[in-house]
Structure 1
Amino acid sequence: MHAPDGFIDAPISAAAGLLAAGAIAVSLRGARRELDDTSRPGGAGAERTAPLAGLVAAFIFAVQMLNFPVAAGTSGHLLGGALAAILVGPYTGVLCVSVVLLMQAVLFADGGLTALGVNITTMAITTTLVAYALFRGLVKVLPRTRRSVTAASFVAALVSVPASAVVFTLLFAVGGTTDVSLGKVAGAMVGVHVLIGLGEAVITALTVGAVVAVRPDLVHGARGLRQKLKLRVDGELVDAPDTGAEPVPAAARSPRKVWIAGLVTSLLLAGFVSFYASANPDGLEKVAADHGIDKQAEEHANADSPLADYGVKDVDDARLSGGLAGVIGVGVTVVAGTGVFWAVRRRRTSEEAEATSPAGTSV
């Protein structure tokens, strides 16, 4: 759903940019609390949370390269807001997807530069907030089990994608550069993105379920979730009495193995599996072409980038070119994301140190 330059006029694009900037500013403050891992048993601050958040951004970048067919001549790809919010928290999730969108726009000419605010609004802010609000509501009424977390993530991801399509349609209604039937655009956008949402839901649920199964302590949305201790009594397994003590060993373990596994998976997806992704236009591209929205689309300012269109310039072999571009993208995104989240976490640490220092104490 990467909108190019020209779909939305300059005033609305600028307004969306201001909205995105404000949301990022709020998210920076909120992420400082989310990245502060000291609330968990065995927490280790930025040493464990910042690299994991950077990995989530890199994983989203990789999976977004895997367009999957959803209807005749149409494909879809992960948006990632629900996945990021559930894994690392809503504020950090907004930043994760925003980092991905920035890397894609600047390095790969995917999504217009003047439309960056629009894309952050629709793909980062909307999906993250809608998904996390629905997810939290579901886990409050469902049993506190791993299956419930996975099921809630499925529903949240499914709803977040058409919600993003609705927000884009609203932006187009007030700032669209072509005169088309808004009713037809809205129907087409929501319809195709419900189908894309199903793919998003499957990817999100599988990923969240896999991480929750091995390290629930690393999943923001699963905080407080713990497996009941089982005792064998007369040959049968029964729940052990709840002593109220929070288990420490899982949270005290290093997340290094999870980080390495996630990075290797991201590199394989972007460097190899992406070659087999659907070449059909995604939901927004298809709707834009069918309804004439793309008549005012402008060429990307970075169309001559060495990595434009997810290929390495002057590398003739399509498989090698796309694979190298994917690997470079994952590497750049994980470094940029980790750097951002490390800086956010260090800022909070500095503020806390100033607040507790004698010089900062009023008398």
Structure 2
Amino acid sequence: MKNIVAVNDKKQLASFIDFPHDLYKNDSNYVPELFIAQQDMLTPGKHPFHEHSTLQLFLAYEGDQIVGRIAAIQNNNHNKINKTTEGHFGFFDCINDQETAQLLVDAAAKWLKERNMTSMIGPVNFSTNDICALLIEGFDGPPVAMMPYNAPYYQQLLENTGLAKKVDLRAYKFIAGDYNDRSLKLTEAIRERLKRNNIIIRKINMNDFWNEVVKVREVYNGAWDHNTGFVPATDKEFHYLAKDLKMIVDPDFIYVAEQNGKMVGISLSIPDINQALIKIKRGRLLPFGIFKLLWYKRKIKGLRIMALGVLDGYRKMGIEACLYGLTIKTFQEKKYDYAEASWTLEHNTMVNSAIEQINGKLYRKYRIFEKSI
């Protein structure tokens, strides 16, 4: 007999966070999320999401055994900005059992419907600014930093509950030495041309990090505002993300474009910290996980090109090409093995074509689903 239980205390929350570790214990590609980070994210008062929105976590049990989990998410900022009544679901993990998946999806849908939501979209772990979507192609290796991972059977489980495709996301891979470096050769020429328009490209100033973050947020919220389901990050949310990223970023991989002191473009790439996190059993930093993390962090040779955007009015001037070129140049100099550009929307032909022109290979696809409730 299976039943659904709403998570209401710290013990249940710990079980919710730990369930994927047990589900994927024999999967060599699985990367555990850090327990403390997940705990903070899902605890009201710890993460700024809870200041404007709500969620309810659910666990599926068969007897006394946990067999699945899901979060029902009411993102009020999303609905206010997009003028919708859309609910979200996230943190979906489940054994390969249709009944369990149906019970989980139904529990989330019921909770959302009671709050006057008319549709359900996901997987989205709070918003598209966070980890989102379901891996549907490319199960041949671990995910890179801040990208999702799941078993192949999840797609069928979700589709059988009535969820259908809303949009697909793409990830492209670059292998060291196997890319078109034409943009690299043109980078300095483009950079000089931009200077004539008082546009300079520079690395982020880590000595003035928090002032830089304020400017980056403005570009981020402005450059991506036309993306499907985009929700501008609040000041506190962006600060929260920046605080986490500061611990892993390499400033050599963060470039900004400025015109007369105004930031108009950004390129953010981060070392693939998953190369270290995959060694941290059950996501626990104590007692020995912290030492493993510090040790393996030094050996990282992978990169995630996480965000590259330019404000309206400054696009197609060569800024994007210059940012790509400088990232590739640094990638070469640091002798990295691979880079993943992720994620992009399937219909963003301008960005996807630019990546493909420098020999980025489409190697993973992700899907966000939706259904009326």
Give the alignment's TM-score, normalised by structure 2.
Answer: 0.26
What TM-score do the two structures reach when normalised by structure 1? Answer: 0.27
Higher strand share: 2
Ranked by relative contact order (alpha carbons within 8 Å, sequence separation 6 or more), the top structure is 1
